[in-house]
Amino acid sequence: MPSSGEETSNPRGAPHPATDPTAAPSAPATAFDDEEDDDASASGRGFWRSVWEAIAGSEQDYTRGSLDRSILLLAVPMVLEMSMESVFAVVDIFFVARLGADAVATVGLTEGVLTLVYAVAIGLAMSTTAMVARRIGERDERGAAVAAAQAIWLGLAVSAAVAVVGLFFARDLLRLMGGSPELVAAGWGYPAVMFTTSAAIVLLFLNNAIFRGAGDAAIAMRALWLANIINIVLDPCLIFGLGPFPELGLPGAAVATAIGRGTGVLFQLWVLFSGHGRVKLSAALMRFDPAVTRRLVRLSIGGVFQFLIATASWLGLVRILAVFGSAALAGYTIAIRIIIFAILPSWGLGNAAATLVGQSLGAGKPERAERAVWRSGYYNMLFLTGLGLVFFAFARPLVGLFSDSAEVIAVGAACLRIVSIGYPVYAWGMVMVQAFNGAGDTYTPTWINFGCYWLFQIPLAYTLARSTRLDENGVFIAILTAETLLTAVTILVFRRGRWKLRQV
């Protein structure tokens, strides 16, 4: 495997001569592999100095120099960004839980439907990251800005459609998900607000995808921290009517989300149009570009379906669990929020790998891209293994922080223990999937997701929950089994190397 100094640049559209997808796969790199530095100054920098530089933010060339340093500079702000998202998920359900099991169940049912919106937003964001990263690797910053502008227009179009659905069909959505008449009557305001203000959610995803693809990870981190800190502060104020704020109950949580994330979007747009990031937008660049939009949509289709398949399968799991009552749904919702607390920071490493893959392929350095993936996966495994042990050992006390119902705690603890067993395995799968996406190969993970989730996980969950005495535990076992299978298949396909030839 050549060092980064031996890799040569390659024009867009031409396969790298060293890349042969039919060749035998190279051995996985580990944290202990050495790599020659193109940038001699990088070798003298200390770890903590690099951590501070990652948080403060600085313009870097991630296509050359120390790979470990590049991972560190990208992963630290991305992990911190996702950590704040995790904190919000836990704090939000903490306050909502004080309104009772029906309120938590309403959030769970709403998010079951919102996963479809998230799927579209994340799919668009993933394709945006891939295209922006590839253009940055090619030193085409104007092309990156044009792609970013078209992504924003697509996000606004999606948000408008979602707002119409939320405005007129909030009650119907809760009924469709199996909510009781009492739950629908009391909780319909929450999904109504969440859907009509979905532009804040969608644009927050897309704009941060632009920053990540450009390597401006610190800016993305600040935007999400700003959005979620405001959200967390407003949550109890608007739910319970603290101080001068009105008592809105459950809909107050949705209003807090809209205000917090809307503020984050305004900050993102200020950075993009003020020229403080690597991608610089202007009124001229915001004009509709059919050619770029078609390319972005074509790339996005695979990403959207990839996440629709994955997240819609969670919607199916919620529907299976609904037959066991509000306590089972509440326990599952709390457990999933705690699981996300670990999984989202882990996505930070996956996002770092995606950026490195996209920029390295744009610079004609596929071997550097591959090494980045194996190293990121190794670090992710270490991170999630430690968290998995903690969650398994302290499952009941953790769920007990959010509910005092014995039945809810029992279900939530069982879910937490069973799913967390697979954390070391999930770590590799998460990074590998993001590597495909960063390369612009969105269709391979789509087919893998379809097979592992819809052809395997959903039938297995239904069978174990309804045809055995496992009840809701059967759903949790199905999650563990399907995620393990997905990781194994993804690694096997990744080692074939065809993703290195994908054009964006």
Query: What are the tens digits of pLDDT across the range 47-64?
Result: 788 888 888 887 788 998
pTM of the model: 0.78
Tokens representing 455? 């052809």
Report the interhelical angle of 101-137 vs 189-196 (nearest 10°).
10
Q: How many residues does the chain have?
A: 504
| 63 within domain boundaries | no
Q: What is the pLDDT of residue 242?
A: 92
Instruction: Classify the phi-psi angles of 215: left when phi > 0, otherwise alpha if psi is within -120 to 50, otherwise beta.
Output: left
| 60 within domain boundaries | no
Q: Which residue from 253, 286, 222, 209 is spatially nearest to 107, judged by alpha carbons?
A: 253
Query: Which residue is associated with the tokens 């293994």?
Result: 385
| Contact between residue 238 and residue 255 where contact means Cβ atoms under 8 Å apart | yes
| 19 within domain boundaries | no
| 14 within domain boundaries | no
Number of compact structural domains in the chain = 1
Backbone angles phi and psi of 45, in degrees to 5:
-80, 135
* Sign of the torsion formed by the C-alpha atoms of 74, 75, 76 and 79: positive
| 41 within domain boundaries | no
d(C-alpha 156, C-alpha 322), whole Å: 33
- Identify the segments of the chain with pLDDT beneath 50: 1-44
Residue-wise over 239-253: b if at least 16 C-beta within 10 A, else e? Answer: bbeeeebeebbbbbb
| Contact between residue 363 and residue 138 where contact means Cβ atoms under 8 Å apart | yes
| 37 within domain boundaries | no
Q: What is the pLDDT of residue 40?
A: 38
| 230 within domain boundaries | yes
Domain, as residue range, for 361: 68-501
d(C-alpha 501, C-alpha 343), whole Å: 30
Q: What is the pLDDT of residue 308?
A: 79
Say how many C-beta atoms besides its own lie within 10 A of residue 255's C-beta: 23
| 33 within domain boundaries | no
